[in-house]
Amino acid sequence: MLLEGGGFDLDPALQDRYRGEVVGRPYYSLEATRLHYFGGTTGHWGGFCAPLDPVDFSSRSWVPGSGWPFAPETLEPWYTEAATLLELQPGGWAPSDAEETNAPLLPVSSDALGHKLWRFSPPTRFGSRYRNDVVRHHHIQLLTHAPVVSLRTTADGTALDHLVVRQPGGHTVRIRAQHFVLACSTLQNVRLLLSSNDHLPAGVGNAFDQVGRGFMEHLEMPVGTLALMRPQDMQRYAYDWGVTRERVELQLPVEVQRRYGLLNASFSLDPATAGSALVSTFDREPPDVLEAYRQDTRSGMTSELRAAALAERRAHDVNTVRRSPFFTVMTRQEQAPNAASRVTLSNDRDAWGVPRARLDWQLTALDLHSMREGTRALGRALGAAGVARLQLVDWLAADAPAWPERVSGGWHDMGGTRMHADPRKGVVDADCRVHGMANLWLAGAGVFPAGGAANPTLSIVALALRLANHLSATM
Amino acid sequence: MGPILQRMRDRATLALTRRALLIQLATLVVQGSCAPLPESTAEWQPHDLLRTFGREQVVAFGRSWLSRSPQSRRRLVSRLRSNGPDVTQQVAADFGRGRVHLIDGWMLSETELLQCALVALHGAAGAP
């Protein structure tokens, strides 16, 4: 049985359930970042895909709390299957595995700087792409407009007994099952676990005060301007919205990360528009713009939009670069695991009587150090290779380390229900089962113990497929 | 020619040669301290930066560097020379070893800032 809190399209009254408080660093409106309807947030995602890097799974001495409870190979087969569901170009994930490899990569020393391959989904809108598959599936019973408002445990608090569903009309239904999977998004999973406290006063899975802790984002920031020293074909670095299927970005090798004590990050290069200011994703993609984008692309990309995107596709050849050798450098950096960055419950309640989420997003000194020193390491590597010079944005060039007023993220809510073998350090085990609960599993980026430098969707889908396989073998 | 006359001629030649040598040495010293150095505009040109940023920006880099670290043309050339003949290699080594400075946010190597400073000094003197 699949319970969907929303319907097949957005309903403002239902979407309002996702509204919440932001009490830490400035963050997007919580009701704008996630979509409460069939297909969820794939309704407005951008399609950026890459698997987590092997270093993301390792326990790094310079990143407290890092490490996944399994090796990267564990997810590999599921990444392949997830890539198919997300309609990506097939193939491995080394830059040499790209379909188009005719254009050269920047000639940098591999000891100092590497490349990371990204692939782009059309983007697949799960709500439209897989609706019929789900509705017609013999083994799936889909209930829409069935928001879960509470998890009820057995009296001893070691298993879920049933879910409480309160339909928009006020009708309440109890759903019993042998196995339960919560896949309501990072914040909403936390909210349900914490607010379901009939037999467990601290909430479900929260015996060690771990639920809600370790909220993470990807720090997506413009960090500087790059000037190429020689004209070069930049086709493989280019990204044109709705058109590009693969591109490469720059990445500091693990040894460099270790030497300078850096978090993982990926640097993209986009042709700079002369005279334009570098803007954060906060400013470039406010919720109303995103909503307009979602409306326009609700069934993938319409042929009209794709034609427009093709028409606007920019040249990235040698001649273009000769005319303007300047590129904007954007970083997508992982956030250090941080117990103080957390989701708790607000005193305010939604129309269903459920406490709203309260987000206290916090960064650490390691996040800032990585942004400053990682960008400088990039500039040194490019300079040593004779490839380019890098101009840092003002706040990174300043003598005193300090964040700018706005630190922007990628709309990637991660953590809060971290995966860890030790129940004192995480909420779910390596199989995504909630510690202390015999029959409750979590899906979504909330279980990520470390977020890496890759956008989360591919890993979310891979983990969901792995969980489905696990449950199928268990049941 | 008698042996006495021959000795007198030899002495005069030696004296002339010594004088010429002194004059030549003096000329070299004068040239070294005051005369323009052709290699400062040719041999030490930061070709990559000039191609990418243009002369105006390179002069601005140079002036900014000179304001932080005032140096004579002679000193700049001396420092560039002491680094060895291959400037490109030296710039790469600077970046590799962290001898990098921020000028208007641009990460530039110490060697290329010396080059930019030379260009700035020539610009100030009206030289090409």
Which among A230, A376, A385 is the nearest to B107, CB-wise?
A376
Provide block-wise average pLDDT over 10 residues at a time, chain A (475 residues): 94 92 92 91 93 98 98 97 97 94 92 97 94 96 96 97 92 96 98 96 98 97 95 93 92 98 97 62 59 68 74 81 92 98 98 96 98 98 97 95 90 97 98 98 98 98 98 90
Tokens of A115: 């490349």
- Residue at A426: amino acid letter: G
Residue B122's pLDDT band, with cuts at 50, 70 and 90, is confident
CB contact under 8 A, A393 and B105: yes
Of residues A58, A107, A16, the one with CA closest to residue A254 = A58
**A385: closest chain B residue by CA:** B92
Reference A456, options A1, A11, A164, A40; nearest CA is: A40
Q: Which architecture, in CATH terms, is A1-86+124-217+338-358+412-475?
A: 3-Layer(bba) Sandwich (3.50)
Residues of chain B in contact with residue A397, where contact means CB-CB under 8 angstroms, are: 102, 105
Omega before residue A271 within 30° of 0, cis: no
B24: pLDDT strictly greater than 60: no
CATH 3.50.50.60 domain range(s) in chain A = 1-86+124-217+338-358+412-475
Quote the strand ranges of A167-244, DSSP E.
172-176, 180-182, 219-228
Best of A256, A323, A389 to substitute, by most chain B Cβ atoms within 10 angstroms, is: A389
Same domain? For B52 and B82 the reply is: yes
Interface of B with A (CB under 8 A): 48-49, 51-53, 88, 91-96, 98, 100, 102, 104-109
Same structural domain for residues B64 and B104?
yes
- B63 and B23 co-located in one domain: no
**Which residue segment(s) compose the domain that B67 sits in?**
38-124
- Residues from chain B contacting residue A393 (CB–CB below 8 Å): 105
Residue B92 to residue A380, Cβ atoms within 8 A: no
Total domain count, chain B? 2
Q: Number of Cβ pairs closer than 8 Å across A and B?
A: 54
**Together in a domain, B13 and B57:** no
Asked if A381 reaches chain B (Cβ–Cβ under 8 Å), the answer is: yes
Contact A330, A221 (CB under 8 A): yes
Same domain? For B4 and B61 the reply is no
Pair B59, B23 in one domain: no
pLDDT reported for residue A315: 81
pTM (two decimals): 0.89
> Over the stretch A418-474, which tens digit does the pLDDT of each residue have?
999 999 999 999 999 999 999 999 999 999 999 999 999 999 999 999 999 999 998
Which residue of B48, B98, B106 is in closest CB contact with A229? B48
Which of A381, A384, A397 is facing B105, going by the closest CB pair? A397
Residue B127 has pLDDT above 90, yes or no: no
Residue A387: per-residue pLDDT: 96
**Per-residue tokens: A472:** 């199928």
Are the Cβ atoms of A389 and B108 closer than 8 angstroms?
yes
